[in-house]
A = this chain, B = another copy of it.
Amino acid sequence: MSGNTFGTLFTVTTFGESHGPAIGCVIDGCPPGMDLSEADIQPELDRRRPGTSRHVTQRQEPDTVEILSGVYQGKTTGTPIALLIRNQDQRSKDYGNITETFRPGHADFTYWNKYGIRDPRGGGRSSARLTAPVVGAAAIAKKWLKEKFGTEFKGGMSQLGEIVIPFEDWQFAAGNPFFAPTSDASLIERLETYMDELRKDGDSIGARIDVVATNVPVGLGEPIYDKLDAEIAYAMMGINAVKGVEIGAGFASVAQRGSEHGDELTPNGFVTNKAGGILGGISTGQDIIVSMAIKPTSSIRTPKNSIDKEGNPALVETFGRHDPCVGIRATPIAEAMLALVLMDHALRHRAQCADVPKAQFSFVK
């Protein structure tokens, strides 16, 4: 494994750099016989795409996806599905001293030291643009999980800097540029003002994002190592700028007592969901609840101290327009990663346990 493949049975191998000829991925292991066309994938890419509000990068790329393989007469064939997205903005513009200095908070320093060479165009492979193929691949996973189990994915922002966004209903997340699950127009206005001020200051801010999967079958995940929560933590921490991941009660568990934390059961089901839908690394059938911390955008107009490739001091300023909060676009990506984990484990589970008889009881609905 060389790192660029996600998953064990439903695998996504991505390729591409921000300003190279194209980005894309190969999805292997998709069950055959499912209806699939670009129309199933493009809407998810459009949700992720920058340029949809004044608070995110105005990169003008349509991100049009093309299915290159694995589909015949509108149905998946069981062979690899390749997705291709051509980069339109691949001019080799002058990157100035970006190629010579290491931008604080960016991967410049580490790529340079690891590989001895670095593609500086738009961040190269470290660009958030590389989440697009994953979102495309996850559209396929989402469709299959929905058809098979009724599984759905929802998510949104619960905090922007110091501003906590009280949860109202996921449906509202689609109604504002922040994916804020609220119908409170004055709160949205406050978020907008906050962003405008940051932009004026040439600064940026972090955010907290929550995602939830509903109608998850019981039994997904392995008892040790490839636990469902471990795999979700891996998936989420791998998203650009994520610095923390929680499942269920998360860090609040630190100050909780066992009498409070352990979710009780009744014949009607679990009473609470502090576990976040996972016990012993295996899904309980309750909602999977994940929360993550996104660090502030590293590219800011305010100059910062750094060094150049010879180790000499250098001052780094980022010109051009950048999102003051990368967290704004993170919701569809986090949903996508969660979908990929569940899809992979749904296949893994039935590989080993297809013959297990259904449990002798079911919750009274």
Contacts and interface: CB of A to CB of B under 8 A. Distances in A.
Contacts of A126: 223, 280-281
A2 B16 contact: no
B159 A293 contact: no
Nearest to A295: B253
A234 B69 CA distance: 25
A15 B237 contact: no
A274 B226 CA distance: 29
Given A82-B15, A226-B1, A258-B204, A356 B114 contact: yes
Interface stretch (A53-61, A179-187, A310-318): A310-318
Contact of A5 (B13, B117, B298): B13
B26 A79 contact: no
11 contacts: A2-B352, A5-B13, A16-B80, A102-B265, A104-B262, A104-B263, A110-B219, A110-B221, A198-B257, A205-B257, A243-B253
Contact of A114 (B78, B297, B304): B78
Given A203-B257, A258-B298, A282-B114, A306 B222 contact: no
A251 B261 contact: no
A291 B237 CA distance: 13
B21 A300 contact: no
A62 interface: no
Contacts of A177: none
A258 B224 contact: no
Interface in A230-252: 230-238, 243-252
A271 B229 CA distance: 34
Interface in A77-108: 77-82, 84, 102-107
A294 B68 contact: no
A198 B264 CA distance: 20
B238 A244 contact: no
Copies in the complex: 4
Contacts of A11: 1-2, 5
A136 interface: no
B233 A117 contact: no
A102 B271 CA distance: 14
B356 A68 contact: no
A279 interface: yes
B262 A223 contact: no
Interface in A14-48: 14-17, 20-24, 26, 28-33
Contacts of A280: 106-107, 110-111, 126
A152 to B, nearest CB: 20
Most chain B beta-carbon neighbours within 10 Å: one of A9, A28, A110: A110
Most chain B beta-carbon neighbours within 10 Å: one of A107, A234, A363: A234
Contact of A307 (B14, B203, B267): B267
B306 A264 contact: yes
Contacts of A198: 257
A20 B69 contact: yes
A355 B198 CA distance: 44
Contacts of A260: 296
Nearest to A231: B234
Contacts of A77: 17, 115, 117-119, 124-125
Interface in A280-334: 280-285, 293-300, 302, 304-307, 309-313, 324
